[in-house]
Structure 1
């Protein structure tokens, strides 16, 4: 292990980040990847928001008409969050590619109607730039998918297909690599959905990196009362 690790946190905040920001940054991270961020960008007015070290993307007003977007920011002004636009985005929502120090990071928020099919297609088209001979790529965010849903709803380009593609390049899911839990048998959850008076819990947020890059993985439940998603946090060797 190196002298220190980089902490990356991902969270679908379900909008209203400006009202949740103070709680979010109580969990220390070097890089924050936030999905479903309101495109009104009211968080820019917060005293603690690093408005010189962030990236925000929304497809509102272009091909799509989305009310939300995807955000990456860092409170560490010694490491810059920089856009990396050398991937084919195929006009999909949302795949924010950036560099952070020595890392290439893909911030993911899959969107209706295709969800995992779009993610598989995006990574497949860009696999040489994202995965080939890459020991410093982090693919992380709200995939809105698991193998149980995927096998039922997506016959092709499903989550099993994504895992097969990742394994070809020795990439693994941090949760499953650290916990040694098979896909579909997760004992923790990152998403809660209320149906017929019952709260159902699912695992649908992921961090994929090259094998053994992740030193630690946590599901953070501190914000469960602020969103239907829990946060995930990884530590990667610097």
Structure 2
């Protein structure tokens, strides 16, 4: 199964055709608008099978091909925002997230709340975090989240496939102010080792006119 996570940097109704060309089974999109409130009929057709959380034109969406069954797990968020947990085809669970607001600290708390449910799960999204910023967050750090997930058997797909250490990534997923000289790695997939077939990160020249984030694509073995 092919899954992409992408922070589209808004106005997804104008950009979905570009990501659709990747021909993925599931699209986890951060900073997208609610298909239920759009007047764009073509966007509605694309979003014929989806889950979405957010406010007006700003949210997190999981979009899937029509043959795929998405079931919202309805996990409590207790005031935390930008998380969607769902079951896919009754085969595996997917957690899509967008680290917005309190960033990694919100993600840390959310994962602590649902710790017992995370085993065998695929987690992906724009975490807006990297271990290089650990000192800014006391205990609720990027490294703490990574260690927690690794303890559950969930590993960063990029770091595992490329044999990289957290904080020493060579492939950026984000360019601050869309400048090539300001690269960061802040988007991730986490899952079990044996489920990773391949992982790909979009190229700057192909995507920078659409977003400051590059899409990150996982081909997962079910």
Q: TM-score by structure 2 length?
A: 0.91
- Measure how far apart 1:194 and its partner are: 3.1
Q: Distance in 2 between matches of 1:208 and 1:117?
A: 18
Residues 38 and 78 of structure 1: CA distance in aligned 2, closer, same or farther (over 3 Å):
closer
Asked whether 1:98 is paired with 2:86, we answer: yes
Q: Deviations over 1:92-135 (max 9, x none)?
A: 121111122212111110112x210110111111011122xx2x
| Structure 2 residue ranges without an equivalent (≥5) | none
**For the Cα contact (< 8 Å) 2:194–2:221, is it kept in 1?**
no
The match for 1:54 is 50
Q: Distance in 2 between matches of 1:13 and 1:186?
A: 22
**For the Cα contact (< 8 Å) 1:24–1:223, is it kept in 2?**
no
Q: Distance in 2 between matches of 1:193 and 1:50?
A: 29
| Structure 1 residue ranges without an equivalent (≥5) | 1-5, 61-65
1:227 aligned to 205, 211, 215, which one? 211
2:97 aligned to 89, 108, 113, which one? 108
SS in 1 for 2:176: strand
**For the Cα contact (< 8 Å) 1:18–1:43, is it kept in 2?**
no
Specify which structure has the higher proportion of helix: 2
Q: Distance in 1 between matches of 2:49 and 2:39?
A: 13
2:41 aligned to 32, 45, 49, which one? 45
- CA RMSD of superposed structures (Å): 2.0
2:146 aligned to 163, 179, 182, which one? 163
**For the Cα contact (< 8 Å) 1:171–1:211, is it kept in 2?**
yes
Asked whether 1:15 is paired with 2:10, we answer: yes
SS in 2 for 1:22: helix
Q: Deviations over 1:150-189 (max 9, x none)?
A: x131111101111111121111000001100111110000
Q: Distance in 1 between matches of 2:43 and 2:27?
A: 17
The match for 2:183 is 201
